[in-house]
Amino acid sequence: MADRLSWWFFLVAACVKILLFPSYHSTDFEVHRHWLALTSSLPLSKWYSDESSQWTLDYPPLFAHLERLLSLPASLVDPTIVSLSAGRNYSAPSAVLFQRSSVVLADLSLLLAASRVLAHSKERKTLTLILLIWSPALLIVDHVHFQYNGFLLGILIMSLALLAEGRDLAGGFVFAVLLCTKHLFMVAAPVYFAYLLRHYCCAGGVGKGIARLVAMGGAVLAVFTAAFGPFVYYGQIQQVLRRLFPFGRGLCHAYWAPNFWVFYIMLDKGLAFVLGKLGFSIEPPKASFTGGLVGDSSPFAVLPQVTPAITFMLVLLAMSPSIVKAFLKPQPKFIVRWVAYAYTCGFMFGWHVHEKASLHFTIPLGIIAMDSLDDARHYFLLSIVSCYSMFPLLFEPQEYPIKVLLLAIHTTLMWAGFSSHFSTGTAPEPNKRNGAKDSSKEKGWIGWLELCCLSGIVGVEIWGQFLHPYVFGTRLPFLPLMLVSLYCAFGMMYSWIWQLRQIIRCT
């Protein structure tokens, strides 16, 4: 259970979230309101076949059951919230109050998981709680834009905490629950499989190993059977899978996530421009990446087309070092690093990645951010880049001071916390436990790379907010967004390479 300090952090964060209730919310607000109405009004057999709205249910069954559970108090607050005939964009004050409050309460999952992780690390609890509970990226995505990432990340961190404690069966069970709640977390499944197979199932001899394999397989199967079994019974499983994996959405989201594909797109556009100037006939792509739309047909003019199978192979290849390490030397102290790296690979090379997916590795890495000076420096850079990449989600003028202030406060708190923690010039003991490179004897904890990154972010923001409108007026409206994605992609690429080096060095 959470102690007094953890509750204090949670309540302060809750007060900030309540102040954000009147702020802008995205179409995700209406998506989840419709899901409340859908799961409340229709029988389970029709949840994944209903098309009464464009916001069809595309989360796994356990999240659908969460929506059904939330619909019970929602109907008492305002019956229109759970009505399929309410129409689009129903956002009465009662609906806003209920749905915003539901996200705040769902964040209890993150509080309980963080408290469990920090149960044996009281000397660095305060700063780690700041990194997890007060994450500005979570505030922007969940409590302004509107989603339930804090709830889902709490389940992930609880699973990692159980694995770090050596409770492999419970950790595997919780991860199965997570997959049946949000399937995009399945990126780390190969790492989990390799780790649990070797650390849990293959330990203690053949007889004990078989018993453990049966126990783990039974626990995971029980979760998936409870979640998907009813839809198999109703003959709806193929429809469920089509909803969960809509590959027709295209390689990139309308707003590019800052990953590898940003460089691929820019290279394609550069080659198309140069070849066009040289007189070559270049057929323009049918779906424009800079049109603010999602397209799948022929998105590249020069470079080879990218398919879901290609991205799948790239992700698997990129994360293979963590899979190999997890299988050959399955040590609990490295599990957070391995899983975070897997999610980084999914973000960098995956299909139709949203910028919000960077939370999948940014938040877990906050757990080990104080293990060494190198970890602190990396996290300082990564968390700022991750948060800044989400600025375009809040595009209305009244929210601009909010996102800037949230990031500025977070940066200041990290600066003060890391400076204090590493001020003695002696590496903390966890640095040795995790096998990270010891650079704590260097003077100061912040490096030139971090300072250059901060300066670059300020420059990109000044251009997008002030200079671009002055120079181009209303022309090239996508250019500021493209610059944010491109600049943050360099930061994300650095993070991926840095994490890969740490994975290789793990012993």
If DSSP codes are grouped into helix, strand and coil, which group holds residue 364? helix
Q: String of b and e for 409-423 (b: at least 16 CB within 10 Å)? A: ebbebbeebbeebbe
Query: How far out from the chain centre does Cα 263 lie?
Result: 21
Residue 247 pLDDT: 76
- Locate 81 and state its tokens: 């919230």
- Taking the CA atoms of residue 293, residue 294, residue 298 and residue 302 in that order, the dihedral angle to the nearest 10 degrees is 70
Q: Which residue has the tokens 């302004």?
A: 144
H or E element: which one contains 81? none
- Return the pLDDT at 395: 87
Classify residue 436 as left (phi > 0), alpha (psi -120 to 50) or beta: beta
Q: Tens digits of per-residue pLDDT, 215-272?
A: 999 999 999 999 999 999 999 999 999 999 887 777 887 678 899 999 999 898 889 8
- In the structure encoding, which two tokens stand for residue 367, read together? 């757990």
Phi, psi of 71 (to 5 degrees): -65, -25
Q: Collect all residues with Cβ–Cβ distance below 8 Å to 103 and sequence separation of at least 6.
A: 17, 142, 143, 146, 147, 148, 150, 151
Smallest CA-to-CA distance from 323 within 193, 201, 197, 191 is with 191
Phi-psi region of 257 (alpha: psi -120 to 50; beta: other; left: phi over 0): beta
pLDDT for res 289? 52
Please tell me what DSSP assigns to residue 53: S
CA–CA gap between residue 25 and residue 6 (Å, rounded):
28
Domain boundaries, the chain: 252-305, 369-507
**Which stretches of the chain score pLDDT less than 70?**
1, 120-123, 254, 284-298, 424-445, 507
**Cα-flanking dihedrals φ and ψ of residue 353, to 5°?**
-80, 135
Number of H helices and number of E strands within the chain? 22, 0
pLDDT, position 191: 98
Q: Within 13 Å, how many C-alpha atoms sit on residue 325's CB side?
A: 23
Q: 3-class SS at 31?
A: helix
How far is 315 from 310, CA to CA, in rounded Å?
Answer: 9
Residue 350: per-residue pLDDT? 94
What's the pLDDT at 1? 66
Q: What is the DSSP letter of 285?
A: P
Residue 85's φ and ψ, nearest 5 degrees, are -95, 10
Residues 6+ apart with CB under 8 A from 11: none
Give pLDDT, residue 3. Answer: 84
Q: At what angle do helices 373-389 and 479-505 cross, to 10 degrees?
A: 160
Q: Which residues fall within 8 angstroms of residue 472, CB to CB, at 6 or more apart?
A: 479
Please state the length of the chain: 507
Whose tokens are 């601009």? That residue is 400
Strand partners, 353: 252
Is the pTM for the entire model greater than 0.85? yes
Q: Which amino acid is at 297?
A: S
Predicted pLDDT of residue 368: 93
C-alpha dihedral sign at 10, 104, 258, 190:
positive
Query: Distance of alpha carbon 472 from its chain centroid, rounded?
Result: 34
Q: How far apart are the first and last CA of the chain?
A: 32
- The amino acid present at 392, given as its one-letter code, is P
DSSP string, 97-155: HHHHHHHHHHTHHHHHHHHHHGGG-GGGHHHHHHHHHT-HHHHHIIIIII--HHHHHHH
Task: State the Cα–Cα distance between residues 366 and 410, nearest whole angstrom.
Answer: 13
DSSP sequence for 286-328: SS-TTTT----SS--SSSPP--HHHHHHHHHHHHHHHHHHHHH
Q: Sign (positive/negative) of CA torsion 33, 37, 43, 48?
A: negative
**310, 304 in Cβ contact below 8 A?**
no
Query: Which one, of 371, 340, 346, lies nearest residue 439 by Cα?
Result: 371
What's the confidence (pLDDT) of residue 237?
A: 94
